[in-house]
Amino acid sequence: MNVVDYLRISLIDRCNFRCQYCMPEGAELDYILQQNLLSYNELLTLIREVFMPVGFSRFRLTGGEPLIRPGIVDLVRAIASTPGVRDLAITTNGFLLAPIAAELYDAGLRRINISLDSLNPDTFDLLAGTKGRSRWQRVWDGIVEAHRVGFDPLKLNVVVIPGVNDSEILDLASLTIDRNWHVRFIEFMPIGNNELFGDMGWVPSAELRQRIRDRWGLEESRVTGNGPADVFQIPGALGTLGFISQMSECFCDRCNRMRLSADGWLRPCLLNETGQIDLKTALRNGVAPESLQEKVRSLLAIKPEINFKERDSGTLVGNYSRTMSQIGG
Say whether 221 sits in a helix, a strand or coil: coil
| Per-residue model confidence (pLDDT) at position 195 | 54
The vertex-263 CA angle with 261 and 266, nearest 5°, equals 45
- pTM for this model (two decimals): 0.89
| Per-residue model confidence (pLDDT) at position 186 | 92
| Rounded-to-integer distance, Cα 76 and Cα 100, Å | 12
| Per-residue model confidence (pLDDT) at position 167 | 96
* Segments in the chain below pLDDT 70: 1, 23-28, 131-132, 190-200, 224-227, 250-253, 270-271, 306-329
| Per-residue model confidence (pLDDT) at position 313 | 40
pLDDT digits (tens, 9 = 90+) for 60-77: 999 999 999 999 999 999
Structural domains in the chain, CATH included, are 6-327 (3.20.20.70)
| Rounded-to-integer distance, Cα 292 and Cα 47, Å | 11
| Per-residue model confidence (pLDDT) at position 24 | 61
| Per-residue model confidence (pLDDT) at position 246 | 80
> DSSP characters for 143-183?
HHHHHHHT--SEEEEEEE-TTTTGGGHHHHHGGGTSS-EEE
Say whether 237 sits in a helix, a strand or coil: coil
